[in-house]
Structure 1
Amino acid sequence: MNRFSQKITNSQESILQQTQLGQMCGSKKLFRDRYEILQILGKGGFGITFLAKDAVLPGHPLCVIKQLCPKVTNPKSWEKACARFEKEARTLAQLGSHSQIPMLLDYFQANGEFFLIQEYVPGLTLAQEVRRNGPKSEAFVKQFLQELLPVLQYLHKHNVIHRDIKPQNLLRCEYDGRIVLIDFGAVKEQLVNTYENSITANTNFIGTRGFAPPEQFSLRPVYASDIYALGITCIYMLTAKSPLEFDYHPNTGEICWQKELNITDSFAQILGKMVKVTLEDRFKTADEIIKALSYANYLPTLANCLTTQKLNNKSITQYENYNKTPDVYMPPVARTANAIRKLRARMK
């Protein structure tokens, strides 16, 4: 099923009339003698996205055209914008080799605007899934994290911060069910930095209110900023509520979501650490979350190994000696119990 609605809003109608690609929408006239513009997909603060058909390739595959509109008129600023766009487009082209990131097919500049041609991935966004079917289960969200966290590892390894992770930018491919991360904010941010008005350049924010952490509003995003947005996305999936619908703690500024959910304590601790407002308290890397999820998955099994048998004085003395001197023999059950206690302490 196509994730895009065929219904045209008033704002989209205005775009169709005012832009070159919009005027070509629905006609047989080709953009750059190659792309047949089919419909508008959406409009953001920095550009417009269209669905198109490649009339040159066999089979006329669908593709997505993103038209980015930098606000520059000065020749030097334009040269700077072109250089930034070229650099970021090359980065997107490199990232597109990952199966969960749309492939960049082409990029160019024309008539004072920049264009990205990307692979079209059919399917529904997670926001559409939740609106249709309601909140997701803990098991579903854990599986979602297992699928997406390696993508974050991949991005951060290539020194890329997505900057706009949210349910609307996470797409489930209808062919194979994989989660695809779309609409990177990196190119937009680079173009914003070329604006001639220094006040505008310092106040333009890339991201989405409610999903972006405080440091991103201060224009200082870090890798952990993506982790915060991913944690808020998980809370949305579990509650079907926008982060702006929740109350916020008056002192810490953290979202008050705990009472809305009935999930295990171990998973609640993981989510809580993902959405910490203070960077020092938040998970720093995707690796840390993957390890925490692995521990949480094994805890119920390990807990069954805990002995409920009371220790006599000799066993207590032996246990205390074991903690001080590793050479003292300790029964396997006691060793396992001790390891679990230490694991739980580390997780807390």
Structure 2
Amino acid sequence: MVSKLTSSIRHMSQNPLVRKTLRSRSETVKLLGSGQSGNTYLLASARRNRHHKYSFARKTLRNRFEIIKHLGSGGSGDTYLAIDLDLPGQPHCVVKHLKPKDSNPAVLPIAKSLFDREAEVLYQLGNDHDQIPRLFAHFDEDGDFYLVQEFIDGHALTQEIVPGQRLSENTVFNLLKDILEVLAFVHQNDIIHRDIKPQNLMRRYSDRKIVLIDFGSIKKIGALVPGLTIAVGTPGYMPSEQAKGKPKLCSDIYAVGMIGIQALTGLIPDQLQEDPNTGEVLWRDRAQVSDGLANILDKMVRDRYNQRYQSASEALEALNSDLELPQSSKSVGINQNTDDTYLLSYRNFILLLGIGLGATTSLIVIVLIYTFINTGASSPNQPTQLNNFIEKLVEQRLTNVNVNRLIAKRGVCKSNCSITKTTKEQTESHHNS
């Protein structure tokens, strides 16, 4: 019966109208198909016995990790908040317990393989990037399998992207940029996340950075076992090729694009219309957004994967290019204003310099004249030589004053000439006397 159900889901998901209906679900769906047996198994969120969830409370694993409370459930198990008894301060951590919902014996080995792969990727990526949780432990106890990872103190983007509320273009732009930056690191390691959605993106309180969590659905390119088909993802954020079990790096780009559209429109994926002929998402008339960002989002959510950006780095480059265009136009105006301000400052500097030189020259002339007048009064035997020296000095100072007048373009010269004229009259009077 499970085989028939999942087979029907796979065929129906290729229909655009049915895909729209599937978007109303927020849980992760995993369709596991074996090429040898032809069997397909479904791992999806389901109701668990409430007693089982709380039976783990205050349980201690490996005499180190004490369970505090249940955080949530997924298709492959449950997640708990715990404390690490071995470390100073007993910091919080997250414990994932592998417990597939499907009781079919064939499911456990496949789920265990995905669980082990999650641990491997967390160990690989978490130590090299601070926006991916670090792996602390991976073990089995009493026949159950556990994974312990870093606790992220923050909130999920579901608290920021709220149905019915539109975010500004600038906010969405920065959000997309933050998501793509950490996703680019994941893609550079040839890893497809396959379950990017607001619930799996955390805003860390300490630095406001986006942290990508839940690597339980990842696929490492080239590492999939031949003959095994695994369709993993969340309807609404999962493109058609991923629903067929053939995800690509650009499948994650589709999910990020849908998050951006959801944030701009305030509409959850199942509320968005699709073109019945092309399967493209119709959303522009529901948001206030520039053509630049809208074109980028349209390309991110193309129905055909080969028409999308092929990796997070490529999408991030397009986003940064869109940012540089308005900034470059703005910088032209800024540079023009800078040039005008510099020219005005330069002119004011020259003006003040001329005034300063003129005043200094006048002061020197007065001091010299006063000195030589006193010297002439004490040496009456050399009146002619003194007068010649004073006349030459006055002529030289007059020339300097004319130069300062051209620089300052103000009435400094007028005062200098008046002082010089008075000085010459005093000199002539002294000579005649």
Q: Does 1:176 align with 2:204?
A: no
Corresponding residue for 1:226?
252
Corresponding residue for 1:309?
none
Cα offset, 1:52, TM superposition: 0.9
Alignment partners' CA distance in 1, 2:195 and 2:108: 25
Alignment partners' CA distance in 2, 1:187 and 1:287: 18
Alignment partners' CA distance in 2, 1:268 and 1:90: 37
Aligned pairs for 1:216-295 within 5 A: 216-295=242-321
Is the alpha carbon distance of 1:72 and 1:250 closer, same or farther for their aligned partners in structure 2, counting shifts above 3 Å?
same
Listed as ranges, the gaps of 5+ residues in structure 1 are: 1-10, 306-348
Equivalent of 2:56 in 24, 29, 43 = 24
Cα offset, 1:302, TM superposition: 5.0
Alignment partners' CA distance in 2, 1:176 and 1:227: 25
Alignment partners' CA distance in 2, 1:218 and 1:244: 20
Alignment partners' CA distance in 2, 1:231 and 1:153: 14
Is the alpha carbon distance of 1:222 and 1:112 closer, same or farther for their aligned partners in structure 2, counting shifts above 3 Å?
farther
Alignment partners' CA distance in 2, 1:188 and 1:158: 11
Is the alpha carbon distance of 1:114 and 1:252 closer, same or farther for their aligned partners in structure 2, counting shifts above 3 Å?
farther
Give 3-state SS (helix, strand or coil) of 2:298's partner: helix
Cα offset, 1:254, TM superposition: 1.9
Alignment partners' CA distance in 2, 1:187 and 1:254: 26
Give 3-state SS (helix, strand or coil) of 1:131's partner: coil
Cα offset, 1:240, TM superposition: 2.4
Q: Kindly provide the amino acid, as one letter, of the partner of residue 115 in structure 1.
A: Y
| Counterpart contact for 2:118–2:215, Cα < 8 Å | no
Identical positions, percent: 40
Alignment partners' CA distance in 1, 2:219 and 2:84: 25
Is the alpha carbon distance of 1:100 and 1:45 closer, same or farther for their aligned partners in structure 2, counting shifts above 3 Å?
same
State the Cα deviation string for residues 58-100 of structure 1 (Å, max 9, x = none).
11111111112255747xx977866664454222211112111
Is the alpha carbon distance of 1:153 and 1:130 closer, same or farther for their aligned partners in structure 2, counting shifts above 3 Å?
closer
Alignment partners' CA distance in 1, 2:253 and 2:164: 25
Q: Kindly provide the amino acid, as one letter, of the partner of residue 299 in structure 1.
A: L
Is the alpha carbon distance of 1:85 and 1:124 closer, same or farther for their aligned partners in structure 2, counting shifts above 3 Å?
closer
Alignment partners' CA distance in 1, 2:303 and 2:163: 31
Number of residues paired by the alignment?
281
Corresponding residue for 2:411?
none
* Superposition TM-score, scaled by structure 2 size: 0.59
Is the alpha carbon distance of 1:84 and 1:168 closer, same or farther for their aligned partners in structure 2, counting shifts above 3 Å?
closer
Q: Kindly provide the amino acid, as one letter, of the partner of residue 180 in structure 2.
A: L
Cα offset, 1:187, TM superposition: 5.7
Is the alpha carbon distance of 1:242 and 1:84 closer, same or farther for their aligned partners in structure 2, counting shifts above 3 Å?
closer
Cα offset, 1:161, TM superposition: 0.6
Aligned pairs for 1:114-153 within 5 A: 114-131=145-162, 134-153=165-184
Higher helix share: 2
| Counterpart contact for 1:85–1:187, Cα < 8 Å | no
Is the alpha carbon distance of 1:188 and 1:115 closer, same or farther for their aligned partners in structure 2, counting shifts above 3 Å?
farther
Corresponding residue for 1:319?
none
State the Cα deviation string for residues 170-222 of structure 1 (Å, max 9, x = none).
110111111101112336999xx99xxx9xx75x6311000011011001111
Aligned pairs for 1:12-161 within 5 A: 15-18=49-52, 22-25=54-57, 27=58, 29-70=59-100, 73=105, 85-97=115-127, 98-131=129-162, 134-161=165-192
Q: Which stretch has the larger CA shift, 205-214 or 110-119?
A: 110-119
Q: Kindly provide the amino acid, as one letter, of the partner of residue 51 in structure 2.
A: Q
Is the alpha carbon distance of 1:302 and 1:24 closer, same or farther for their aligned partners in structure 2, counting shifts above 3 Å?
closer
Give 3-state SS (helix, strand or coil) of 2:264's partner: helix
Corresponding residue for 2:378?
none
Give 3-state SS (helix, strand or coil) of 1:177's partner: coil
Cα offset, 1:298, TM superposition: 2.7
* Superposition TM-score, scaled by structure 1 size: 0.72
Is the alpha carbon distance of 1:33 and 1:44 closer, same or farther for their aligned partners in structure 2, counting shifts above 3 Å?
same
Is the alpha carbon distance of 1:156 and 1:111 closer, same or farther for their aligned partners in structure 2, counting shifts above 3 Å?
same
Q: Kindly provide the amino acid, as one letter, of the partner of residue 92 in structure 1.
A: L
State the Cα deviation string for residues 36-71 of structure 1 (Å, max 9, x = none).
211111111111111111122111111111112255
Alignment partners' CA distance in 2, 1:173 and 1:223: 25
Q: Which stretch has the larger CA shift, 60-69 or 269-278?
A: 60-69
Q: Kindly provide the amino acid, as one letter, of the partner of residue 209 in structure 2.
A: R
Is the alpha carbon distance of 1:222 and 1:185 closer, same or farther for their aligned partners in structure 2, counting shifts above 3 Å?
farther
Give 3-state SS (helix, strand or coil) of 2:245's partner: coil
Which protein has the larger Cα radius of gyration, Structure 1 or Structure 2?
A: 2
Cα offset, 1:223, TM superposition: 0.3
Q: Which stretch has the larger CA shift, 124-133 or 285-294?
A: 124-133
State the Cα deviation string for residues 133-183 of structure 1 (Å, max 9, x = none).
933211111112222222122111111111000111111011111110111
Superposed CA RMSD in Å reads: 3.0
Listed as ranges, the gaps of 5+ residues in structure 2 are: 1-45, 333-433
Alignment partners' CA distance in 1, 2:283 and 2:277: 15
